Amino acid sequence: MGIEVRRAQLADLDAVVDVHMQAFRGFLLTKLGRGVVRRYYDTVLHYANGVILVAADGAKVVGFASGFAKPDHFARALRRRAVGILPHVLVGIIRHPEVAWTVMQNAAAVLRARPVGYQPDPRDFELSSVGVLPETQGKGVGRALVQAIVSEARRHGVPGVYLYTDAEDNERAKRLYTAAGFVLQAGYTATGGRQRYYYRLSFENAPSSL
């Protein structure tokens, strides 16, 4: 399998959404539906400091990674699109009413400049998503995407990269991030009661080949 990792174009957006919907089944954003997922990644794609990379096997996108520098500025960009996103959120809540309270908590957090259980260094680059099609997992695609987006983050001149990931039933992802040089910094309880981990990769200690 010859995998090419490249920057996503607008034409790749639907494929990124397809991968997200399969890679993150049962997650809040996925339950809210394709409309919300698409607008989220469209915001990343059009944000000046945003990066979406895709892993392509020929013409097929089999994975992606997304992230951004200046995460506080990204949160503002997302808030500016709230009016366009809200109708899709409401449709998602109608389909999955069990997520309503968590959505309200998350919305309040975004309006308050997005505080979470653990506050990162605002100068860092946030690695927001790494998704790989289930049938392609375990073949090195996730590793290639993480390495590539860390390289992209370096170009922004940031001191490090951070990410949040589930603490439970998530061993493959945790091994992936640890192997890439990320270090567990803290655990916290996210909205909806999910246990989450906060990892960080410091560029002061990481080899430049990452």
Spell out the domains of the chain, with CATH numbers in brackets: 3-202 (3.40.630.30)
Q: Cα angle vertex 37, ends 31, 41, to 5°?
A: 155
- Please, are residues 153 and 138 in contact by the beta-carbon 8 Å criterion? no
* Residue range 67-107, pLDDT digits in tens: 999 999 999 999 898 888 887 778 778 887 877 767 676 66
Q: Residue holding tokens 């987006």?
A: 149
Residue 51, pLDDT > 60, answer yes
What residues have CB less than 8 Å from 105, skipping those under 6 apart?
Answer: 191, 192
What per-residue confidence (pLDDT) applies to 112? 53
How do residues 114-170 score in pLDDT, each as one tens digit?
545 567 899 999 999 999 999 999 899 999 999 999 999 999 999 999 999 999 989
- Tokens encoding 121: 């260094």
Task: Read off the pTM.
Answer: 0.87
Can you name the residues that pair with 129 across neighbouring β-strands?
66
Tell me what pLDDT residue 86 has.
Answer: 81
The span from the CA of 24 to the CA of 18, in Å, is 10
The DSSP result for 42-64, as a single string, is: HHHHHSTTEEEEEEEETTEEEEE
Distance in angstroms (rounded) separating the CA atoms of residues 110 and 81? 12
Model pLDDT, residue 99: 73
Distance of CA 180 to CAs 73, 77, 80, 143, 173, Å? 26, 29, 34, 8, 11
Name the pairing type of β-strands 160-166 and 183-189. Answer: unpaired
